[in-house]
A and B are shown apart, each in its own frame.
Chain A
């Protein structure tokens, strides 16, 4: 069965500091991996996705993630945090080629302080 684990339910960074949100996956087959962001009382917005092409994936709002098979990781980073980045971030996995469900992690709430 596929799953993702997000380490750290809350992360706090200063504005301008590096953002690092951790995600490790478990999958018996090569996975597709996604990062979504959720602002309060809103749905989820796709930040970026890994689909077995380049291992370093660039997304919206300056975020990027690197797929590391040896570490079964797909951590999300942003070089410089902005106040508007404060939100809940979810990592998700889907089995290669399937059209059905995404399996989400429990989320990491990012707080950005002045």
Chain B
């Protein structure tokens, strides 16, 4: 297993377009998380899945954002009608089931979105 994989690494899009990012977690991890990191800030929680169930969503996740994990494996994050304020690094992480104290997270390398 090569860790958490995110695709694409970079995405440049015009304002108003839709974009979709993909995350492939470590195969035996049933928890998957999405975070957003803007320049000079720490990552901010967006949402998390346990298997295919989306268990928590941040208020940061506006109606233009949707995340899915249909088969409990990979996940997609879609942003509709992108705005310049959506420009950020989108990070995916995964962990096994169990207390976070045992594992922490394993992060992917992120997808950097630039909205022009």
Contact = CB atoms under 8 A, between A and B. Distances in A.
Interface residues of B, number: 32
A42 B41 contact: no
B45 A103 contact: yes
B104 interface: yes
B48 interface: yes
Question: In the complex, which range does the number of interface residues on chain A fall in?
Answer: 20 to 34
A98 B45 CA distance: 14
A44 B43 CA distance: 9
Contacts of A106: 40-42
Nearest to B10: A41
Interface centre among B33, B48, B104 (most CB of A within 10 A): B104
Contact of A104 (B42, B95, B98): B42
Given A43-B4, A96-B101, 7 more contacts: A41-B112, A43-B109, A44-B91, A49-B101, A99-B31, A101-B48, A101-B56
